[in-house]
Amino acid sequence: MEKNVHQAKSRGRTELGWLHSFHSFSFGDYYDPERIHFGKLRVLNDDAVEPGRGFSRHPHNNMEIVSLPLEGALKHQDSTGTLQVIRKGEVQIMSAGTGVFHSEYNNSDTEMVHFLQIWVLPKEKDIPPRYGQESFDADGRHNRFQTVVSPDGREGSLRINQDAFFSLSSIDSGISCVYTLKAPGNGLYLFLIGGRIEISGETLEKRDAIGLTGISEVAIQSLDRSEMVCIEVPVEGSQNQS
């Protein structure tokens, strides 16, 4: 087993007045040659956007982009004709494929929107752009792992163009859960949204993360009520920097 711990305070940061963003991997003006990606996981940005502000229309191609709202509402519009608002409890995925333009704005003029934006390198390039959005019941992740993104849409999850799986979990204090990897050759990147856990001999606190390779399963002990996203991605055949 190999592990890399990314403490919250070690992340890169972008501060634009209207955007307050923390980067787990190199992004924009933040560059760390030791933190380019984790297998096929390329970007994990922890974004907060001021009321009425946002990302103007811009292009993407050949990238799988997942958005997880933590609070507030995010308005998405793209060149495929999609116009949607996503809120906490919902998950959004966009397969950029051959190319798509999109914008993302805080849907409120009075409240912040806070969300995780996560990019995964695709399995197949130049597919037609595709959009997906789904609401997931919080009870489905209570003291267990709720699959919200998968390559085959299992358990009502959103489909991704990669052998990757996203799972959400909310674990009560004192409870231990075991995450079992779903595909050989995958590694696990766990990002702790809130709370405190023990995993693989490490204690993680709010916004800390850990990348694990060479495992088939891992036990997670919750020390406080904890929320997390588990991102399982292929690591074989790619330079596993973290």
| Sheet of strand 209-213, all strands in order from the earlier edge strand to the far edge | 2-6, 209-213, 186-194, 226-234, 165-171, 146-150, 158-159
Please give the pLDDT value at position 238: 52
SS3 39: coil
pLDDT, tens only, 69-123: 999 999 999 999 999 999 999 999 999 999 999 999 999 999 999 999 999 999 9
Whether the pLDDT of residue 16 is over 70: the answer is yes
Q: Report domain extents, the chain.
A: 2-234
pTM of the full structure: 0.96
Q: What DSSP assignment string belongs to 52-94?
A: T-EEEEEEE-S-EEEEEEEESEEEEEETTS-EEEEETTEEEEE
Please give the pLDDT value at position 76: 96
Nearest CA to 79 out of 92, 98, 64 is that of 98
Contact 148/134 with Cβ under 8 angstroms?
yes
State the chain's mean pLDDT as an integer.
Answer: 96
Please give the pLDDT value at position 37: 97
Contact 176/200 with Cβ under 8 angstroms?
no
Checking phi first, is residue 195 left (phi over 0); if not, alpha (psi -120 to 50) or beta? Answer: left
pLDDT, tens only, 149-180: 999 999 999 999 999 999 999 999 999 999 99
Question: Which CATH architecture is the domain 2-234 placed in?
Answer: Sandwich (2.60)
Contact 54/20 with Cβ under 8 angstroms?
no
Whether the pLDDT of residue 239 is over 70: the answer is no
The Cα 212–Cα 196 span in angstroms is 18
pLDDT band at 27 (very low <50, low <70, confident <90, very high): very high
Contact 142/227 with Cβ under 8 angstroms?
no
Please give the pLDDT value at position 237: 58
